[in-house]
Structure 1
């Protein structure tokens, strides 16, 4: 089992390889789902002196332990589920749950409530089925605000949602009329209050 420091560093390095600059490491990702053979990722890791002793089990451990569920292994292939900055990876369009959540901060929330959720520097807006993942995503941006998105209503109005797996949903944008403040940071995790 990887110690905490090594696990964190390997997870970040795998993110760089699979989400941001695969070509820098000689990886060619499938244009449809963004995957590559796990053996190719392992080979690319082995070319880095620091990671020459990593095995497939270590990669699998990172996939399993990642709280944000960034990675997925299917058969002999691995991919980053979301967050790509190199190419826009395709996902299957799907009917979303009634409500999805988005973590942001108190500075950005007023703008989102006026202009809607936009992908900004990313390829998609990231949403989640539960508060935990939204809180994880939003905490690193400042004082946390959780926004609720009326996804089912938005879908009926023509917004296309894509399922990235493990409770993560994506959209190109979500108009402001479908977004509202659900919880502030101090309230998240203390109860499942009725949305205001």
Structure 2
């Protein structure tokens, strides 16, 4: 994969002299006239930025900031990337624990999976310290991120290998933890799929009622 700065150069060439305006409009989800080449250049650039953030390549993003040379545009870029990487950030505490104690991190993941994803226990949201989270908000973010990750996997009916790749791509968890989560999803696939269908039907009923 090309670096973010390489992809930014391709983006500039593809979008022309108005590249900053077009990129900013895309980041803010505004209507912007882009051909396929232009849209692809933006998406490739953003994807490379996200990968470098996950890999903690700070210097690469500093070069991007210097090349953009526009505080507001870079602020909007950071906002877009932060929102896109919400799941990655939500898994940060578990990533940190997994790096020093993989078994404890696996145990926590299993407990949270059983009490939040597979079935729901309302008391879990008050038990953040038990699971090595600094505060309730960070723990709730993690619960929502893990639930969303599992729901996406179930909704796409992913193959086992695809699940492993997707979980690692989204979370950058150590391989042992990725396998633990995927094994739990795979082992409870039918029950999770039923939960997913019921949740989708409930959402559809609420939408129709409105």
TM over 0.5: no
Tell me the TM-score normalized by structure 1: 0.37
Compare the two structures and name the one with the higher strand fraction.
Answer: 1
Tell me the TM-score normalized by structure 2: 0.36
Structure 1 or 2, whichever has the larger Rg, is 2
Compare the two structures and name the one with the higher helix fraction.
Answer: 2
